[in-house]
A and B are shown apart, each in its own frame.
Chain A
């Protein structure tokens, strides 16, 4: 709650009367409200904030001693955890040398403010991004992607103001298009959502974004974020679309959803809160057409669940991100499928019969949704999980193997795109990466 208060530009404190969660559950004994009524009365009459205001100016510098460098490194990691700035994994201390090195990756001044991170309201600057990227083991050539992702994250259209603190365990998914993906070693193929020493960029960028969410935005579990589970939050999800394997006639995601010119490096940010593998390929003597159709049904069936995650972006967000390997996209294109026809199939076949929605209590959630379009959708039977087929994010990515596809369950009021801006001399940074990491 203090995060939310400071996020409004007030001193980070509030007159609050807090109770254990049991009081807020159906059928609870609410007698404690009367027992503690004086605290409510004092909140209206006598309360004063215990914090006068926040610190201003440049980032504060911490000094940590040690008998040796290794000792100081250990102590620095301890200090970062003690201050609740870490994520439990080892961190690079964001020294001035390391932060200045990373700042070579942007054409913008280090003090340039990108906005305030909800709910706490900490100011995100280019320097703050570089600090987070330094902690996360990043490199300068990753910074343009992180800065673009932060800009998109802070766009009100993304929904981050609510999702940062909400219980639904939302995590940002950053989809990268354009040449920068290959240039900075972002994964678009085998294992693109996981660790990969050949493609280390996604983990560092996503981890840095998460550290910003936590440290600048105040989203600490159980305090600033009430996410029940918080899955995929160590590194969020950052990957590139496999543009080399897009079928002929398929626009890239950045071009199709955001209108970026082909070849423009860009990011697209979507919130998700679930991830699952879907076995897509047939197992016996299916014809190619049968194999494709069965796979489409299996994917649509998986989306047809009444847990209402997609309500968050019903009108113009995304019910989820469907990832299919390039080999599958190319095969299906050869069979006459198009990106549009796949979306329309998924939209039609993921609709939920009213009876299933009713027995799961789904209508109560639809009726209280902020979107009029979503509320009016309650009249539709079967109920479409999103307002339009266009809302499905369909991405070509993943290893060149036809068996599986992947569904990132959407929880995203909007899908926000940003162009990526690189500094002059970016080629030198890429050459240095090749020197450091191998060709």
Chain B
């Protein structure tokens, strides 16, 4: 029975994806087809509709629209510009410095906004043209921008970590946020190492050294933006705010800052809100159909048979983790991050938990793994955004992306093998 279910689910899903049906609908349609084997049509329609509606009925998920909105406001309200400027003054005087600037800016922006797409757009559109002016390879710049912007998904606040918390059935958001720092920074450092080697080989120019005074000035200008980090993350970790409350406060704070900087005006606010609604709705519809699929899978006992199969192959936790990583890398290339987290967490988490692996550690592995998928064709959303911001094509990006992928894979292996990279920091704060 389960085998037929899995078969129908996978075949219908892959077919729909391949012919170009949007992912959110493909997930919904294949779930519907699968559940129709077991229950009558009218109850099936109603149940899927109900799952889609109730899946969004969650106070935790409310953080997503607000963090998206805060990210948009930061882009328009001058916060992104100030952070990038600060990163430039810090790192720009090194050989190939603009590449480091890009990575650091992406990490800083990720640390305040928590969206890879927003980071790729903001940092890429400001730094990309400058890199080309200074003689950098357009494609290399774009590749660095694309890969480094994914660090923002690990460095908190991060919407996908919130989604993982939901999918895992209650892993603490504060613990996940803390756990993301070291793996996120580690990935950034490895990407910088690749950029350094590349820049040296190509003889990229050294930017002019800025005076300590200018560095200090740009730091002071960045302080209000960096303060957001303390309010949001500090607030969540200290237990003052829930993630949702913190996200709403972040919106309020960025709004006020944007008006103080005089970069926002009332007239353009509705369009900023509408942009945020659109980005949010894309994610929310994916969540709605993914949760419906997850329910169909558990109804058909699919997680149990996957678990039995995996455990039949090995009972060594490291081997199991590597196998899961392998599957996720494959899944990540075809599936967006949100549905992948919502659909595969309920399948894999019970297996690894039985083997004594911490759900927080597993979450970080999963997100880092799926970050790689965001930069690969055919569905890498960050890849597409990064390529269009840099005005280049995906085909041309394949070669410069390769060494950077390798760096991300190394980061993934390290994070998988050494749980302390993820768990040390939350442990320090008593999680």
Binding between chains A and B: no
Task: Mark A residues whose CB is within 8 Å of B.
Answer: none
Q: Which residues of B are in contact with A by a Cβ distance under 8 Å?
A: none
